[in-house]
Amino acid sequence: MEMGLTGKTVVITGGGTGIGKAAALEFLKEGCHVAVCGRRMEKLEQARAEYDALGYELMIRSVDVTDYDALSAFADEVAEAYGRIDVWVNNAGSNHIKSLMDYDVEEFRAMTDAILVSVFSGSKIAAEHMREQGGGGVILNASSFSAVIPNAGRAPYSACKAGVSSLTRTFAAELAKDQIRVIAYVPGMTATEISAKNIELNGPRLMRDIPMQRFGKAEDCAKLMVFLASDNASYISGTQIEVAGAKLCVQNPLYSYEN
């Protein structure tokens, strides 16, 4: 299937590792200009060196996605470098395991800023650029199976991801007149750098909740993003798509993760 993304400009937050890094490579393979940001410059530099060795050019910047002005300045820099922004992926986030009763208000607010407010900020900034370009474009948001079935030990994360799913639908409704599509992707238990320790310690138990009997790969979500960003998905907006191996069909809220 031809994706027709050659020459498009793609921005990915949280693009130095895991799903964001894999998405950057898939878009580069399609001939896109790709700019990624993240907190850890060393991870971004590793990704750039890896993709440079493959013959691809990756723009990297260290940006705190909870800082609206910094994120907006990054978007302006990308638009100036490549002429426009066509696809924006809100992939950055945060996750911790702790009982709800052990969180204090400031910790909860920090999680909300990192997961939910950052998606609002990124979506708003992207939409402003896309409108100035005459409309059209795609915004992709990282949600989670926690948005559908909350996880014991992950209360702020679950609440924020549910908010991401709701924001996705609201932005989609409001931006439809501008032909800007907004979609959430919902990874299941995906084998990445972040989840490696959990999978190593609890793999057999976690596998019992995955009907397809394998952990997801970062590329599973990345390839979906490429499709959703293409005109092959031109009538898809305002929804969330699970990439979870049927995990949500059998999910137990108390045992979503080892706590």
Q: What is the mean pLDDT of residues 168-175?
A: 99
Residue among 51, 157, 185, 257 flagged as catalytic: 157
Report the chain's terminal Cα–Cα distance, integer Å.
42
Domain at 9-242, CATH class: alpha beta
pLDDT digits (tens, 9 = 90+) for 232-253: 999 999 999 998 767 777 766 5
Quote the pLDDT of residue 195.
63
Q: Whole-prediction pTM value?
A: 0.92
- Ordered by start, the domain boundaries in the chain are 9-242
pLDDT digits (tens, 9 = 90+) for 210-232: 777 887 888 999 999 999 999 99
Does the annotation count 235 as an active-site position?
Answer: no
